Homo-oligomer: A and B are copies of this chain.
């Protein structure tokens, strides 16, 4: 697969998204709807090196379906808002110190501004989706938000279940990540007036990309370079979250290795930090990371294949970028 420089190819789209967010916030400021101390929190959270994957997916999927005359950026930014709203609340929940290598909003401004700014972006996002995208898009995005929360609760209830299956894992990441990315891509199609067949194809692309993206996230949690990911290595294991590499390893490991991993998961969190290298080695030896990587690749291939209905000379470039984005999801190191 030839690597393409996505950032360079998408530079003007990213600039458009950033500008659309600035315009939207500025319009609210000029109507006295955002006090200056709220604006400061919003800008800190929104402009911190985010990859803008969700708005880009919305813009690109819409482009596959239309001549692109309708300006979709004001709708597409809703998905960055919603994403950043969940990041703000996640960082409060995790007592995170940093986000993408910079101090997290909850550390800079405190708990109250971080929670409230998340609520603000949440409401603004729903407003933009409902008024610019219509009822069908609102339904999608509200359902996806509900599923994100439900996925988190499922993960919480799974923490004490050491007998998790791949199916349990996929239930969690489907809700936590994939449905939202799927909804973003569906919205692109709906906005562009695509038929249901095409909207379904975009949904498939998005959900498979989302699943692969999350699997890669879970692999990086063990194998990533914290200087690049901006996250503590081994955090999922520390928190007792069983992700695909671990679940697969437990299925194939020998009794002694199994007892070692399960003993750590049943025991004290502090012990898990000191033994993270041993745990990682057992997972690697039992093909946990390899298996997860291969599964993520299959999902990416499936997602890309679903886009075949859009094959045309006119769509060649956009399809190339969407294919590149899907491969990026599993090749990224941050």
Contact = CB atoms under 8 A, between A and B. Distances in A.
Interface stretch (A120-128, A185-193, A205-213): A120-128
B142 A37 contact: no
Interface in A98-151: 111-113, 115-120, 122-124, 126-127, 130-131, 135, 138-139, 142-143, 145-150
A36 B37 CA distance: 38
A35 interface: yes
Nearest to A86: B119
A142 B154 contact: no
A34 B142 CA distance: 14
Given A93-B115, A138-B138, A38 B143 contact: no
A33 interface: yes
Contact of A145 (B28, B119, B131): B119
Given A38-B153, A131-B139, 5 more contacts: A35-B150, A113-B153, A122-B123, A123-B149, A126-B130
A116 B89 contact: yes
A126 B129 CA distance: 11
Interface in A1-53: 28, 33-38
Nearest to A95: B111
A152 interface: yes
A156 interface: yes
Nearest to A111: B93
A72 interface: no
A152 to B, nearest CB: 5
A34 B150 contact: yes
A157 interface: yes
Contacts of A131: 135, 138-139
Q: Of residues A28, A117, A126, which shows the largest number of chain B Cβ atoms within 10 Å of its Cβ? A: A126
A120 B89 CA distance: 12
Interface string A242-254: 0000000000000
Contact of A127 (B115, B124, B142): B142
A123 B142 contact: yes
Given A131-B138, A149-B38, A156-B37, A122 B124 contact: no
A317 B219 CA distance: 64
Interface in A139-187: 139, 142-143, 145-150, 152-154, 156-157
Enumerate the 5 nearest inter-chain pairs by beta-carbon distance, A residue then B residue, closest first: A127-B142, A123-B145, A126-B126, A38-B153, A120-B149
A119 B35 CA distance: 23
8 contacts: A89-B116, A89-B119, A93-B112, A113-B153, A113-B156, A116-B153, A123-B149, A126-B138
A138 B129 CA distance: 10
A135 B136 CA distance: 12
A145 B119 CA distance: 8
A304 interface: no
Contacts of A156: 37, 112-113
A292 B157 CA distance: 48
A152 B112 CA distance: 9
Contacts of A153: 35, 37-38, 113, 116
A117 B149 contact: yes
